[in-house]
Amino acid sequence: MKKSSLKKIVITAMFAALIAVMTAFIKIPIGANGGYVHLGDSMIYLAGCLLGPYAAIAASIGGALEDILAGAAIWAIPTAIIKPINSIPFIIATAHYVKKKGCHKIIHPSTVLMTVISGLITIFGYYIAEGLMFSFEAALISSWIGIIQPVGGAVIFIVVGCALDKIKIQKYLD
């Protein structure tokens, strides 16, 4: 196995753990269905910028693992589907920005815009999942409250991304 492949696998596992931890330990309970707002999405956004397609694996494993560990296993399958989709806008934006501008920064206009798109994916994805599992009326209420989660994730992503850009994290990952 190549050294660079092993490094990607290790960093992917690290991001899966970060996603699980940021989801498990930094959360605010909301809604009538036992849901909560967390900051794990910020790590999914970072993974999308730093890992490329491997980010989808980290997002799926980290998110679903946290649901299982938190006693909310009913949400593990929807999470394992929705969270990798959250990473796709960042994978695409970063690949396009690097190719077009030759810039290896995490925070740039494209990735900031992707926080909105990814947030909409989260809200819509969980609206559908909750609607199918419970009712679409309950899902509508939870969806409006759930807007807080992507906003919190976006803020943390921008702060941490700026800090990682300052230390030029990309040179350590290549």
What domains, with CATH codes, occur in the chain?
Answer: 3-173 (1.10.1760.20)
Residues of the chain predicted below pLDDT 70: 1, 30-36, 99, 174
The separation between CA 83 and the C-alpha centre of its own chain, rounded to angstroms, equals 6
> Tens digits of per-residue pLDDT, 43-90?
999 999 999 999 999 999 999 999 998 888 999 999 999 999 999 999
39 DSSP assignment: S
102 DSSP assignment: -
The separation between CA 128 and the C-alpha centre of its own chain, rounded to angstroms, equals 18
3-state DSSP: the chain helix, strand, coil percent, rounded to 5?
80, 5, 15
In this prediction the pTM is 0.91
Report the sign of the C-alpha dihedral through residues 73, 28, 56, 118, in that order: positive
Predicted pLDDT of residue 131:
96
Distance CA 83, CA 125 (A): 9
Q: Bridge-partner residues for 38, per DSSP? A: 27
For 38, the enclosing helix (H) or strand (E) is strand 36-38
